[in-house]
Amino acid sequence: MELHWKIYLERQGTGERVTVCAVRRRVEGATIADFGLSLAEGRQLLAALQQRVAQDQIRAYDALRRPCRHCGRYRRIKDWRTRIFATALGKVAVKVPTVISCLCTPEPLDDNDDSTHLRFSECSVQPLFPARRTPEVKCLCAKYGSSVSYTCRGFAAT
Ligand SMILES: [Zn+2]
């Protein structure tokens, strides 16, 4: 016999649930090592939770910034790209959209003032993470850097 647990994440108001992780434990023949979550499982759970929360935030932030600032029309997505951000709980890989400029804005011109037939595109969530790391990571790096001697830092870099 085994016990099974599934940990879900649900953003309030959406009714959408996504599975964060699943845990299984045997009951018969269980040892002390089978009780609770292991360190590796705890890290895995936090990483999965961090990734899903961050991805959901990016979708919400994009939806807020997607309407054209001039006419209000919803701008199209050119593509989704993977970006890695450093957080205090580790690196998190998320998909971020690249949005094409609205048709109400003039097309870019080349050196001869001819239309390049290329529309501007921008990453709508770029202003959120200009350095691709959270302020908490920045603070932790500064704190760690100030507590380690120069010799030790030099050793760690090699
Ligand atoms: Zn527009």
Cα–ligand 1 centroid distance for 64 (angstroms) = 15
60: nearest Cα among 130, 133, 125: 125
Cα–ligand 1 centroid distance for 68 (angstroms) = 5
> Is 82 a residue whose pLDDT tops 60?
yes
DSSP character at residue 105: S
Residue bearing tokens 């001869």: 112
Q: How confident is the model at residue 69 (pLDDT cuts 50, 70, 90)?
A: confident
Cα–ligand 1 centroid distance for 131 (angstroms) = 28
What is the pLDDT, as a whole number, of residue 117?
A: 61
What values do phi and psi take at 23, rounded to 5? -130, 140
Domain with 107, as residue range(s), is 2-157
pLDDT more than 70, % of the chain: 85
Q: How confident is the model at residue 123 (pLDDT cuts 50, 70, 90)?
A: confident
Cα–ligand 1 centroid distance for 102 (angstroms) = 4
Q: How many domains does the chain have?
A: 1
Cα–ligand 1 centroid distance for 115 (angstroms) = 18
Burial class (CB in 10 A: 0-12, 13-18, 19+), 48: middle
Between 147 and 52, whose confidence is greater? 52
Cα–ligand 1 centroid distance for 94 (angstroms) = 27
Cα–ligand 1 centroid distance for 101 (angstroms) = 8
What is the pLDDT, as a whole number, of residue 118?
A: 65
112: Cβ contacts below 8 Å, ≥ 6 apart:
none
Q: Which amino acid is present at 2? A: E
User: Is 11 within 8 Å of 56 (Cβ atoms)?
Assistant: yes
Which residues neighbour ligand 1 (ion) by CB within 5 Å?
68, 70-71, 73, 102, 104
Alpha carbon distance 96, 128 (integer Å): 11
Burial class (CB in 10 A: 0-12, 13-18, 19+), 147: exposed
Cα–ligand 1 centroid distance for 113 (angstroms) = 22
Alpha carbon distance 78, 100 (integer Å): 6
Between 151 and 84, whose confidence is greater? 84
> Is 87 a residue whose pLDDT tops 70?
yes
Instruction: Give the mean pLDDT of the chain.
Output: 85
